[in-house]
Amino acid sequence: MKKKSTLTMNNLAVRAITAIIGVTIIIAGIVFSSWTFALVFLAIALLTLREFYNLARKSGTQPYEVWGLVFSLALFGLIFLNYQGQIDKSTFWILPALFSTVFLYPLIRYGQGHAINCLALSVLGVLYIALPFCFVIPLAFVSGEFQYELVLGVLFAQWANDTGAYFAGKAFGKTKLFEKVSPKKTWEGSVGGLILAVGVSLAFCYFFGTMSYLEWTGLAIVVSIFGSLGDLVESAFKRALAIKDSGSTIPGHGGFLDRFDGLILALPFATTYIHFVI
């Protein structure tokens, strides 16, 4: 029992140290400049996409990873440069041609596994991972110029939701949220996550303004609901493949997909919400 307790404390220490370092790097990158902001989220998107493709390989499918990473890089980069005002909109015509190249892969790899499954999962990775992360760009440029406050607000609301759900679930969790997909998640935990997310968002309103208290509360609710659903979606993928973590890139936290799964659904809905209220 003592050994188990020591291991638990060590794991919590590793998780805490890794979280502090990771959060510091992310916040610094977002705040420093629009370029470092873009690099931070591009890196997160590409690393998360790689882990998704690794999950797909565990099912016996060989996704076209190089195509997925190159297309995602081009998609994110062009959207960012467009908001920076540094490219002509006609440059976006590169994307349809680049996207269409994925349909050539079944010819190149003819006879090597199920081409349709490989093609489908390659495209799914872009739609599920890369495209949602691109929504952080219009969120940062919602006023026409780069502003980091709303981006940080969404991130902190998501992190607060995860933290509140974990501790509230541990303390009060009894009613299962979606037992077939994630047996440990409870309604009590979800409520705790929502409450903490709202509290953090109200603190952002106090320090940064940008929106009213009611609008910040609405943002927290959107992030909490869709962030939790994003977590469940990734859990469904992992359960289908009978694995615990999507990777081991982040000590004590699993992989990038494990850490940013909630953000994948939260970002598109949060950005849409922001564009309606501002």
The secondary structure of 101-124 as a DSSP string is GGGGHHHHTTTSS-HHHHHHHHHH
SS3 253: coil
**Count of C-beta atoms within a 10 Å radius of residue 222:** 20
Higher pLDDT, 68 or 19: 68
- What sign for the dihedral angle of Cα 41, 42, 46, 47? negative
- For the segment 15-30, the average pLDDT, to the nearest whole number, is 87
Q: Tell me which DSSP letter residue 254 carries.
A: B
**Count of C-beta atoms within a 10 Å radius of residue 103:** 11
Q: Which of 16-20, 22-26, 202-206 has the lowest mean pLDDT?
A: 16-20
Higher pLDDT, 23 or 10: 23
Which of the listed ranges 60-64, 126-130, 173-177, 180-184 does the model predict with the highest average pLDDT? 126-130
Higher pLDDT, 102 or 239: 102
Average pLDDT, the chain: 87
Reported pTM: 0.88
- For the segment 10-25, the average pLDDT, to the nearest whole number, is 77
Q: Please report which confidence band the pLDDT of residue 33 belongs to, taking 50, 70 and 90 as the band edges.
A: very high
**Residue type, position 151, single letter:** V
pLDDT higher than threshold 70 for residue 10: no
CA–CA gap between residue 64 and residue 87 (Å, rounded): 28
List pLDDT tens digits, range 79-134.
999 999 999 889 999 999 999 999 998 887 665 567 888 898 999 999 999 999 99
Q: Please report which confidence band the pLDDT of residue 1 belongs to, taking 50, 70 and 90 as the band edges.
A: very low
- What sign for the dihedral angle of Cα 70, 71, 72, 78? positive
User: Domain limits of the chain?
Assistant: 44-134, 144-278
